[in-house]
Structure formats: C-alpha cells, structure tokens
Structure 1
C-alpha cells in the first residue's frame, strides 16, 4: 500500500474562503462601521430591555410588510441579509435571549421560532 502525503504550500485558508461575517470593503460599509460597533457594543443588563429587544427583533427574516397608519402607507423592508446591519441585530437579539435565560433564569421559548 502506498502512503499519500498532502502538504500545503501556503499557510492561509483557501483564497476563496471568507468568514461568515465577511464584509466586502467599500465606502458604504465603511460608513456603517461606526453604527455596527454601536449595536455590537450594546450590553443587555436589564430584563425589561431584553424582553423589548426579543419582541422587536424577529427570530426569523420576515417578508416585507406594508403598514397603514393614519391613512398613510409605510413600507417596512425585510429584515434579512439585504439589511446591512442584519448580523449585528441578530447578535443583539441573541445576547438578549442569553441574558434572559442564563442570568434571569426565564423561559425564552416564546421568543424562539
């Protein structure tokens, strides 16, 4: 039997590999970076705020909705990968869920799809 040795000539990951939260460089993303840092820096330390976050940020990507209020129509865009702050909002929701479950000992099943 023959032994096959495979060696990598480079130490970097595959050139087409990008981490899951990879953001392509560009002016638009650079403008949003301060806002991303603000959302990522929010610490959940209050159960009322944690409940509000879990109620406000949906557990799965809803479709675009149209809301009629005072005789006017408002279009609410879908909160999904097209939203440039999607990953940060999902992380904030996860931190709120973790706070409620781990610190407050609450049942968070009602917030999970």
Structure 2
C-alpha cells in the first residue's frame, strides 16, 4: 500500500475561498455596530424592544390552495441587520429574565 503525502499547506484562521472572500468595505457596518452597542439597562426599554422586534418573521406563511401547500419563506432574513436586531432582542429578554426576574414566556413564540 502506498502512503499519501501532502504537497500543499493548510491555512487556518480567517481564510475565505476566493469566491466567498469578504470585501474590505461594508457600508452598513457603522449601523450594525451602533445596534450592537445598544445596552439594555431598564425594564421599560427591554419590554419595548421585545414588543417591537418580533420573535419570528411575520411574513413567513404556509398557504393551502387547491390541495397544494405554498410556502412563503421568512423575508426578515433578507434584512441586512436581521442578526443585529435578533441579538438586541435577546439582550432585552436576558435583562428581563436575569436582572428583573420577570417571566419572559409571553415574548417567546
């Protein structure tokens, strides 16, 4: 049996294949940072965030038509700030649960 030897090097860390390479400029980065820097420090603000940012996409639907099911995907994921808003909502839920000791089940789908 013949042994296999590698003739190439392995790259670890922040390597992206050429077609998925991240560009150096992101126009929404300042807005993303601003949303990520929002701190939840009082219960009233936390409740407002949980009421305004939905727990699941309100546009996702399954429509039954003539015996067929049509699935409309979650359009919220097309929002470039979706992950940042979900993170803000999670911070608000954590604040209410951990710091205030409130039951947050009413805000969970």
Q: Would the TM-score normalized by the shorter structure come out above 0.5? A: yes
- After superposition, the Cα gap between the structure-2 partners of 1:57 and 1:23, relative to the gap in structure 1 and judged at 3 Å, is farther
1:100 to 91, 96, 100: 96
Question: Runs in 1 of length 4+ with deviation above 6 angstroms?
Answer: none
1:24 is displaced (CA, Å) by: 4.7
Higher radius of gyration, 1 or 2:
2
Normalization by structure 1: what TM-score? 0.65
1:11 is displaced (CA, Å) by: 4.0
Aligned residues: 90
After TM superposition, the structure 1 = structure 2 runs for residues 1-113 of structure 1, keeping only pairs within 5 Å, are 9-12=9-12, 24-25=22-23, 30-63=26-59, 80-113=76-109
- After superposition, the Cα gap between the structure-2 partners of 1:79 and 1:93, relative to the gap in structure 1 and judged at 3 Å, is farther
1:25 is displaced (CA, Å) by: 3.0
- Preserved contact between residue 79 and residue 86 of structure 1 (Cα < 8 Å): no
Normalization by structure 2: what TM-score? 0.68
Q: List alignment gaps of at least 5 residues for structure 2.
A: 1-5, 61-73
- Residue range with higher mean Cα deviation, 55-64 or 83-92: 55-64
Q: List alignment gaps of at least 5 residues for structure 1.
A: 1-6, 17-21, 65-77
- Preserved contact between residue 36 and residue 88 of structure 2 (Cα < 8 Å): yes
Q: Provide, for residues 57-92 of structure 1, a one-character-per-residue CA deviation record: whole Å limited to 9, x for no partner.
A: 00011118xxxxxxxxxxxxx761110100100000
Cα distance in 1 for partners of 2:16, 2:22 equals 15
